[in-house]
């Protein structure tokens, strides 16, 4: 969008790319728009993203907003030739049949890049409004993905994250229906220079056999998987209209660990979904501990108008927050335990800035005693301690690493 705006000659322009996942996200967007207008009275303000796609009239009705454009329009260069007579450009996202590959700009100074491989979702979970902002599932052709990644790697990117609304549905709309695993295998074969690859949020029951096979065979796929879990109680999952049940999650985690014993898991969880009883919540809480889920993204349930869940009996807000807090505490304990287990081991850390980076398991690592600026490089390190919620490490082969190893051995 920034590139399109520049090419259109726009200056003194502020673009808000809004989110509609929660009511709070929309409230903060409107608050930020009003603040931006107060601080920039002469600027043009453009609002786009999912909230604008779903409810364009709301944002067009704000006196602070000059133009509103939909999720498909924001990707088109011509949309930024703003007309004074047409303040709203939002088409029916459900009519969009293709997802074009995004042009890759602005990653030259980054070490990690996110590449969208699909957009939209064919499923209608009862709590979710995303399909109405993103449309139905649309996959990016394999060749376009490969070209994007090749450009990024040539610009110095060492790690790519494959993203989308529901990447396990990748390829269902393409000729030959290639699977996520088939696409990923071809990508890695055609861009051998890519050092590291991560997969974003996965539906546990929809992971294809090719993806499992590749995960077990390809060391460039990082041992870090994120599960679109949402709940660990079967009745709640059914009322959410999720595709998986509790046992599917257990089977997915066990299978992945059999292939890569060191794999670490993250998960998205909704606390206080409508009708969730204390017992139902405890089933979710117990699953977090049973599977040792490490990186948790926890959200108190947020009613989205027009969704079936908004019409169900609601859990009081204070109980939602209390349950979310318990889940976050469980996640923090699991993460601390995982980080403690890494002390005294080695890791390959992708340095981002000022010695900070991420390990293969996505653990935050502060590397000290580096010689020179190694941002963008993968550095083998010895993990010596935990400090300020990060792993403290030293480059392998340095005196600092040997001293740290000797100190741990005598403890």
The 10s digit of each residue's pLDDT in 225-244 is 999 999 999 999 999 999 99
pLDDT attached to residue 23: 81
pLDDT attached to residue 384: 97
Looking at per-residue pLDDT, the higher value among 279 and 132 belongs to 279
Fold designation for 343-409: OB fold (Dihydrolipoamide Acetyltransferase, E2P) (2.40.50)
C-alpha distances in Å from residue 130, one per residue of 125, 256, 361: 9, 28, 29
Please state the pTM of the whole predicted model: 0.85
User: Of 63-77, 121-135, 363-377, where does the model show the most confidence?
Assistant: 363-377
Burial 158-170 (b: 16+ CB within 10 A, else e): bbbbbbbbbbbbb
Q: Tell me the pLDDT band of 108, cut-offs 50, 70 and 90.
A: very low
Domain 112-341: homologous superfamily in CATH: tm_1862 like domain (3.80.30.20)
With a CB cutoff of 8 Å and minimum separation 6, the contacts of 298 are 269, 271, 324, 327, 328, 331
Residue with tokens 């709640």: 236
The CATH code for residues 2-91 is 3.40.50.12160
Mean of the per-residue pLDDT values for the chain? 91
Domain segments of the chain as ranges = 2-91, 112-341, 343-409
Q: Tell me the pLDDT band of 410, cut-offs 50, 70 and 90.
A: confident
With a CB cutoff of 8 Å and minimum separation 6, the contacts of 266 are 224, 225, 226, 227, 293, 294, 295, 296, 297, 362
The 10s digit of each residue's pLDDT in 289-312 is 999 999 999 999 999 888 999 999
C-alpha distances in Å from residue 334, one per residue of 39, 265, 289, 293: 43, 10, 8, 7
Does 2-91 match 343-409 in CATH topology?
no
Burial 67-89 (b: 16+ CB within 10 A, else e): bbbbbbbbbeeebbebeeeebbb
> Is 287's pLDDT higher than 90?
yes
> Is 104's pLDDT higher than 50?
no
> Is 187's pLDDT higher than 60?
yes
The 10s digit of each residue's pLDDT in 316-356 is 999 999 999 999 999 999 999 999 999 999 999 999 999 99
Residue range 254-283: mean pLDDT, rounded: 98
């Amino acid at each position: 969008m920034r590139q399109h705006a520049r090419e259109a000659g726009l200056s003194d322009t502020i673009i808000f790319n809004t989110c509609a996942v929660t009511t709070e996200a929309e409230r903060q967007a409107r608050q930020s728009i009003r603040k931006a207008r107060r601080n920039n009275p002469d600027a043009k303000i453009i609002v786009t993203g999912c909230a604008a796609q779903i409810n364009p009239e709301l944002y067009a009705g704000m006196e602070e907003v000059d133009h509103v454009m939909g999720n498909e329009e924001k990707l088109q260069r011509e949309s930024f030739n703003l007309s004074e007579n047409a303040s709203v450009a939002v088409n029916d996202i459900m009519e969009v049949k293709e997802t074009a590959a995004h042009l890759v700009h602005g990653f030259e100074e980054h070490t990690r890049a996110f590449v969208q491989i699909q957009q939209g979702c064919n499923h209608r979970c009862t709590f979710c409004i995303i399909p109405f902002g993103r449309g139905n599932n649309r996959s990016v052709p394999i060749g376009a993905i490969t070209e994007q990644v090749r450009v990024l790697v040539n610009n110095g990117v060492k790690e790519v994250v494959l993203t989308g609304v529901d990447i396990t549905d990748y390829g269902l709309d393409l000729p030959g229906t290639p699977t996520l695993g088939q696409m990923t295998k071809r990508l890695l074969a055609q861009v051998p220079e890519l050092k590291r690859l991560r997969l974003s949020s996965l539906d546990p029951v929809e992971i294809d056999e090719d993806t499992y096979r590749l995960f077990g065979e390809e060391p460039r796929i990082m041992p870090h998987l994120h599960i679109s879990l949402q709940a660990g109680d079967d009745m709640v999952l059914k009322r959410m209209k999720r595709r998986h049940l509790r046992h599917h999650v257990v089977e997915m985690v066990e299978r992945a660990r059999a292939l890569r014993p060191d794999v670490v898991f993250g998960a998205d969880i909704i606390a206080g979904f409508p009708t969730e009883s204390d017992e139902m919540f405890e089933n979710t809480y117990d699953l977090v501990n049973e599977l040792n889920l490490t990186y948790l993204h926890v959200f108190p349930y947020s009613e989205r108008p027009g969704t079936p869940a908004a019409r169900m009996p609601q859990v009081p807000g204070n109980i939602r927050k209390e349950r979310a807090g318990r889940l976050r505490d469980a996640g923090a304990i699991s993460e601390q335990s995982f980080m403690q287990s890494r002390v005294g081991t080695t890791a390959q850390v992708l340095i981002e800035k000022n010695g900070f980076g991420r390990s293969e398991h996505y653990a935050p690592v502060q590397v000290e005693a580096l010689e020179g600026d190694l941002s963008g490089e993968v550095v083998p390190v010895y993990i010596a301690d935990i400090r300020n919620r990060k792993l403290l490490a030293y480059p392998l082969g340095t005196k600092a690493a040997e001293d740290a190893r000797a100190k741990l051995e005598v403890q």
